[in-house]
Structure 1
Amino acid sequence: MVRLGRRWRIAALSIIIAASTGSIPSQGHDGAIERTRFIGALPLDGELFHVQGLEVDGDRLWVTSVDRRAHRGYLHLFDRRTGRFVRRIELTDGARYPPGGISRQGSSLWIPVAEMRPNSSADLIELDANTLRERRRIRVADHLGCIAARDGELVAGNWDSRLLYVFDLNDLSRVRAVPNPSRTHYQDMKFVGDQLVASGSRTWLSGTVDWIDWPSLQIRDTLRAGAIGPVRPFGRGGPFTGEGMAVDGRDLFVLPEDGPSRVFHFRLTS
């Protein structure tokens, strides 16, 4: 039996990954997310780390990222038209430093900031979307990595979104947990009308965007997505839906790459 050294094992795995991604669009071509049309990719200026969440509104674009080496988490603000960096604030709270998927509701931005391990703890932070000043902080006894907000209600997914926590903002003693109806590990989610739109990865090379009726949790539609390569851990990409996602009408925005990052813009065709 031949034993490969560590360097050779890494090289062999790199070849396998490259071969696996050979037929997958690497620059955001049509078909990267099914039943969508690729519009373009916007490079983001400024320093970004491992990206986590994305939200858009008017001329603004917010991104969360985590510097895993320094154990620091950040919210970044960019100009949505140009990708120009505008501002950054730190979200680190001791052991709670990775921010997750984010959601805007009215004039508020909601961001989960958790420990980097399952079955741990998190803060759900409400920021003023204009000033980025903190309005409220809710402590939760579990890792929460994504959040969707609407008037009076929050939905947040724990590690790999195995459970979805539902919070009544008018009575925080009323919290319930329901199973994720999908096998997708949701990373970012938003309320769009009476539906929850959630995206994430299933493997290193694939993911989905799901439209889920709320509160019945029936999945009404699923868009499968491939990957942008080369994928992690040797590259900076992964499944198009593996990290940040935002929805604006029929426009779908995804942020699959670690910094330097690009926002990929797709338009739903059906």
Structure 2
Amino acid sequence: MTVYRITYADRMMLRVMVMVLGLSLPAAAQVQGIEHARMADVQTLQGTVFHVQGIDLDKEHIWITSVDSSARKGYLHQFNRKTGAFERQVDVSDGERYHPGGFSISGNSIWVPVAEYKPNSSATLLELDKKTLKVKRRISVADHVGCVAVTKDSLIAGNWSSRKLYVIGMDGKVIRVIDTPSQNQYQDIKFLNGMLVGGGNLTKTTGAVDWYEWPSLKPVRSLASGTTDRGRLYSAEGMTVKGNDLYLLPEDGPTRVFHFVIDK
């Protein structure tokens, strides 16, 4: 019997065809959770957030960004990881730039992009002290930035829907601009073990979490995303990865953190 292997490129092409042609995948192809992963737990956070954008965490805390578009305010919220209780928040708005996006923790810093709420605009990359939440550094970017990942010596920033990736030095200078090699609209990106990981959507109900080698951006792995019991795509907004543990934040409220364990 001949065995045909579906490559990453084949799967991404199928997803693009579904998006462009408005087709529906057959029932057997529908993903109920996250492909090649099992759900470990779901945690409801106790506190008010607005339209959720990004998530990251450490052993003690969960941080979330959200935007209150009616008040034109953006926030970084901190929750207790064990109990889910709200602890504190900080307003990260910067005038017309009030849309915080997917963000990343690196050492004692939290890097948060805050942009105008429209494409082809402007953004500020904020480096916040993790303990005090005070601003340590500001980097201006001449485009909307919706997500940021941190390497040892640079920042990787995705613009509106991550059609482009900006590689920015810690001095604020743009080193490289890359066209994203996927139709997946990444909302949150992280840098892990020498790879760039992005979670996003192809349609309202189809999306994926993708891994790329860095800096070649050679595709390594792609896990298709299903929807929650509220009909929200798991990979639609916040995403972070810690080893084989995948954490997703797709819903505005009551906000739930979905924890999946990825097959090795």
TM over 0.5: yes
Tell me if 1:183 matches 2:183.
yes
Note the C-alpha offset of 1:229. Answer: 4.7
Give, in whole Å, the separation in 2 of the partners of 1:150 and 1:135: 18
- 1:233-252 correspondence to structure 2 within 5 Å: 238-252=232-246
Contact kept? 1:65, 1:73, Cα under 8 Å:
yes
Aligned pair 1:110/2:104, yes or no?
no
Change (3 A) 1:205 1:229: farther
Shift of 1:217: 0.5
| Residues 174-205 of structure 1: per-residue CA shift (max 9 Å, x gap) | 43210111111001111101101111111100
* Deviation sequence 1:135-184 (CA, Å, 0-9, x none): 00001110000000122210000011000000111x43343210111111
- Counterpart of 1:197 in structure 2 is 197
Distance in 2 (CA, whole Å) between partners of 1:33 and 1:122 is 32
Query: Number of paired residues?
Result: 238
Q: Name the aligned partner's letter for residue 258 of structure 2.
A: F
Identity percentage over the alignment? 49
Give, in whole Å, the separation in 2 of the partners of 1:55 and 1:174: 25
Alignment pair present for 1:260 and 2:260: no
Q: Deviations over 1:68-116 (max 9, x none)?
A: 1111100000011111100011011111001000101111100000001
Q: Is the 8 A contact 2:32 2:227 kept in 1?
A: no
Q: In the aligned structure 1, how far is the partner of 2:172 from the partner of 2:57? A: 27
CA separation in 2, counterparts of 1:80 and 1:163?
A: 33
CA contact (8 A) 1:31 1:37 kept: no
Superposed, which structure 2 residues align to 1:121-140 within 5 Å? 121-140=122-141
**Aligned partners of 1:113, 1:229: CA distance in 2, in Å?**
30
> How big is the alpha-carbon RMSD for the aligned residues of Structure 1 and Structure 2?
1.7
Q: Answer yes or no: is the 8 Å Cα contact 1:105–1:151 preserved in 2.
A: no
Please name the residue that 1:234 is paired with: none
Partners in 2 of 1:76 and 1:117 — Cα distance? 23
Residue 4 of structure 1 is matched in structure 2 by none
Q: Which residue type is aligned with residue 224 of structure 1?
A: A
AA aligned opposite 1:180: T
Q: Within 1, Cα distance between the matches of 2:101 and 2:32?
A: 27
> Could you list the per-position Cα deviations for residues 230-262 of structure 1 after superposition, in whole angstroms to 9, with x for gaps in the alignment?
44xxxxxx2100100111121100001012200
Q: Which amino acid aligns with 2:234?
A: F
The corresponding residue for 1:74 is 75
How do 1:1-270 and structure 2 match up within 5 A? 31-169=32-170, 171-231=171-231, 238-270=232-264
Q: Give the whole-Å Cα distance in 2 for the aligned partners of 1:173 and 1:56.
A: 28
1:227 aligns to what SS in structure 2? coil
Partner of 1:15: none
The one-letter code matched in structure 2 to 1:115 is E
Given that residues 166 and 174 in structure 2 are in contact (C-alpha distance below 8 angstroms), is that contact kept between their aligned partners in structure 1? no
Maintained 8 Å contact 2:53/2:187: yes
Q: Determine the C-alpha separation between the residues in 2 that align with 1:123 and 1:163.
A: 17
**SS at 2:202 equivalent:** strand
- Going from structure 1 to structure 2, the CA distance change for 1:174 and 1:146 (only over 3 Å counts) comes to closer
Structure 1 stretches of 5 or more lacking a match? 1-19, 25-29, 232-237
Aligned counterparts of 1:174 and 1:265: Cα–Cα separation in 2:
34
Matched letter for residue 94 of structure 2: D
